[in-house]
Structure 1
Amino acid sequence: MSDLEDLLGPGAFGYFAGGAGDEITLRDNTAAWSRYRLAPRVLVDVTERDLGTTLLGRHRTHPIAVAPMAYQRHAHTGGERALAEAARAAEALFVLSSQTTTSLPEVADALGESDRWFQLYVFKDRQVSLDLVVQARESGYEALVLTVDFPVGGWRERDRRTGFHVTYPLALNPSGTALTTRQLHDMHDPSLTWDDIGEFAAAAGMPVILKGILRPDDAERAVDAGAAGIIVSNHGGRQLDTTAAAVDALVPIVDAVGGGLDLLVDGGITRGWDVAKALALGADAVLVGRHVLWGLARGGAEGAEAVLRQLVAEFDTTLALLGCPRAADLDASYVLR
């Protein structure tokens, strides 16, 4: 048993660490970043470095964001509030999951004036989803991240083995009745289509980012649908096993729609040089999930903050060693495929 499994218990650890099926995509998400090699320039003045990026027309201190992750109080009693405090301290954009075990206003309070987006699942009872959108808007969330790769839950064998239950109250289920992940997955609306995007955009009154795009033609449809951005993502390898690794899916999507909207990527990003590769390949920002969550599990807000600060420091060092002092100037010339 790993130290994290011992700390969290087999149910929570299996939920956070696991993927779908044989977990091939879960593993390949991380391995794929190593298949892309960096090509540094030398004799460049890198005394001053600018890590900033632009998302939704706003300058961000650096391109590292906290991915939406469910049920965070199962990782640490501080839950989403503690992770929000870590994001605030590290100046990282925080994306809150609609499967949060902390209320939207409480997380917003922990973030203060820091950047925040809200991730939404669309449930069969659409009023539940729409009510969460209203809460997000009233709590100062800047954008709505609509997850589009979850018509049904993936085949997650770890959860089936452990019978993991959500024991904390959820924003969508404030009564606190314990639910298995399969019961929660059954709440998702499998009838969601492109025709429904406008309804949620109108309800949100804020920019909409579509999370879970893996195909160039779907990325092009996102542009046509008026999305402000997309997140290239296979849901951390947790939905359909043997889908493309996130970075491998990113490249053709950039070729199809690069510059047409904001592009973010998540899945398997564990080091600052992965961040540099993502931006060089055409992403505007990255989202990091499990590694930040492990920091939360081990050390609460301070542990998560330490992980984020290390990622930022690694990215800064990578820019210097690449001979590219401005993150905005990263392009495909810095990466060998």
Structure 2
Amino acid sequence: MEDDLLALLGEGAHGYFAGGAGDEITLRENEESWSRLRLAPRVLVDVAERDPSVTLLGRRRSPLLVAPMAYQKHVHPDGELASARAAARTGTGYVLSSQTTTPPADVAAALGERGGWFQLYVFGDRQVSLDLVAQARESGFEALVLTVDFPVAGWRERDKRTGFRIEHPVALNPDGPALTTEQLFAMHDPSLTWDDVAELAQVAGMPLLVKGVLRPDDAERAVDAGVAGIVVSNHGGRQLDTVLTGAQALPPVVEAVAGRADVLVDGGVRRGWDVAKALALGADAVLVGRPVLWGMATGGQDGAAAVLDQLHAELDSTLALLGVPRAEDLDTSALTGR
């Protein structure tokens, strides 16, 4: 599989999407930390009818969302349209990266009535970010996901080795020349603080979530700043190596938030039983990234949809075999040794 993807994407793009920071320890542990958790099924429970839905931002919906991922036209010519259409087709939530290679309005149209969320970086030129927020709001996106773990780029040795360049226009630079990732990353504003988050929560015109929280004290500050949700995330292992994984950081954050905001998690989720484990640890929903990209690389929209369909089917099967027919009833009793 790895060789096939390398052949499809080329060394630069493959390294960008598959790689992580430093020695890629966190990249590997993201998956391993979910696999180390053990499930404790109940038997002789009526599971003839199952409900995988959850309440998220006040609406009933799937507990699965496609994570924000940049530069998707480097994976497939249809780019973000392919992944968005796959999400709409499978009833999966969708978060569009502000580093999209497809105009946000076109992605919103592909999502249809289901709608989506828009991920935001804050750039040194704050007006660029505010313009992106306005564009997202006018296009019909229903929530804003502010990434807060990127004051500067992580030490990504694969990108340094290949010199990967963004060959497609991006939303923040639609008419500009091709840029290296280092040039794009240098636009990020390292002076962002909690005061800015509180201000953005007031002016966004839509619910605000913060993505990139690993500490319970930061989760409490996020709630105090007025956010509607928190995404427990280490940026797919792409920022600081050897940090906590999503599975490790999630329980203390859930405890600190204490129901005052929705809590989501990403990083290393590969199977439907990983989703169930995250919900059992207290997450309200789960974001999935790389598997969707790999499906898209090999089969476009259909490939991405096949990945999402399988994750939904695996979650349904897991609920039945766990003896917990409603996803919202999952708790730590479904995990042994806790």
Any conservation in 2 of the 1:134–1:203 contact (CA below 8 Å)? no
1:54 alignment partner AA? T
1:14 aligns with 2:18: no
**1:320 Cα shift?**
0.1
Any conservation in 1 of the 2:98–2:119 contact (CA below 8 Å)? yes
Match of 1:246 in 2: 246
Match of 2:312 in 1: 312
Determine helix, strand or coil for the equivalent of 1:136.
helix
Match of 2:178 in 1: 178
Determine helix, strand or coil for the equivalent of 1:220.
helix
**1:176 Cα shift?**
3.7
Tell me the distance in 2 between the aligned counterparts of 1:333 and 1:63: 19
Tell me the distance in 2 between the aligned counterparts of 1:15 and 1:184: 14
Any conservation in 2 of the 1:92–1:115 contact (CA below 8 Å)? no
**1:56-102 Cα deviation digits (max 9, x unpaired):** 11110x20100000000000000001110000001111000000000
Tell me the distance in 2 between the aligned counterparts of 1:256 and 1:133: 29
Match of 1:47 in 2: 48
Tell me the distance in 1 between the aligned counterparts of 2:17 and 2:81: 18
Matches within 5 A, 1:231-270: 231-270=231-270
**1:245 Cα shift?**
1.0
Tell me the distance in 2 between the aligned counterparts of 1:155 and 1:235: 13
Match of 1:27 in 2: 28
Any conservation in 2 of the 1:30–1:268 contact (CA below 8 Å)? yes
1:271 alignment partner AA? R
1:57 alignment partner AA? G
**1:44 Cα shift?**
0.2
Tell me the distance in 2 between the aligned counterparts of 1:113 and 1:102: 19
1:137 aligns with 2:137: yes
**1:203 Cα shift?**
3.0
Tell me the distance in 1 between the aligned counterparts of 2:13 and 2:96: 19
1:126 aligns with 2:126: yes
**1:240-275 Cα deviation digits (max 9, x unpaired):** 000011110001111221312100000000000000
Match of 1:322 in 2: 322
Tell me the distance in 2 between the aligned counterparts of 1:302 and 1:176: 31
Determine helix, strand or coil for the equivalent of 1:118.
strand
Tell me the distance in 1 between the aligned counterparts of 2:33 and 2:113: 35
Matches within 5 A, 1:104-253: 104-253=104-253
C-alpha RMSD over aligned residues: 0.8
The runs of at least 4 aligned residues of structure 1 exceeding 4 Å deviation read: none
Q: Show structure 2 runs of 5+ residues with no match.
A: none
Any conservation in 1 of the 2:101–2:168 contact (CA below 8 Å)? yes
Identical residues among aligned pairs (%): 71
Any conservation in 1 of the 2:201–2:225 contact (CA below 8 Å)? no
Any conservation in 2 of the 1:168–1:176 contact (CA below 8 Å)? no
2:315 alignment partner AA? F
Any conservation in 1 of the 2:108–2:115 contact (CA below 8 Å)? no
Tell me the distance in 1 between the aligned counterparts of 2:223 and 2:200: 16
TM-score, reference length from structure 2: 0.98
Determine helix, strand or coil for the equivalent of 1:227.
coil
